Amino acid sequence: MLAREHPTHVRAVRSEAQPARSIARKARRARQGGIRAPHHSGGGVAFGPHPRKYTQAMPKKMRRLAVRSALSAKQADGQIRFVDTLAFDAPRTKTMVEVLENLQTGGLKTLVVMSEKDENLVRSANNLPHVKTLRASYLNVIDLLVYDVVVMPQAAVTQIESWLGTGSSSVTEEESAS
């Protein structure tokens, strides 16, 4: 979440300052350094703020584990709706609303996960303010936590399983090794 920050704080340091030219050096005065020095009015700031990147690296295994646990929590709460297929012949928002009503999403914030990009499905959901479409390969923890209900066709489930694994294979390998 912190990586979404766009830093806007910046101050001019000594090399970037644009002081007034009336503060030019005059003869027979004490040495003051440059007119851009921090102690002159209009000079730069000594240690002013500068924008930085707020991204934090997270290991791939940890990201996958977070997605897996978020999906498990959604499944335990009954917030995942599975469908066989989810495809439209033409982009119709009315049809998308009917599908979501049949799935009993009840106006909740809904995340529709697709196996591959389906332009008709995306256009059908674009006008709905509480619905977001997302490809299964782009599934992330933030979207899983923000949206109340997740709608997945069977093709997306198999793609997510191949990406995340079933989770039980590592346990059976450890038991068979013992």
Question: What domains are defined for the chain?
Answer: 1-56 (no CATH), 60-177 (3.40.1370.10)
pLDDT the model gives residue 105: 87
DSSP state at residue 127: T
DSSP state at residue 129: T
Q: Helix (H, G, I), strand (E, B), or coil: what is residue 114? A: strand
pLDDT the model gives residue 23: 53
Reading the block at residue 109, the tokens are 């914030």
Q: Helix (H, G, I), strand (E, B), or coil: what is residue 91? A: coil
| Residues 16 and 36: beta-carbon distance below 8 Å | no
Mean pLDDT, the chain cut into blocks of 10 residues (178 residues total) = 74 79 62 80 85 86 94 94 92 93 90 93 93 94 95 94 72 47
Position 1, amino acid: M
pLDDT the model gives residue 115: 93
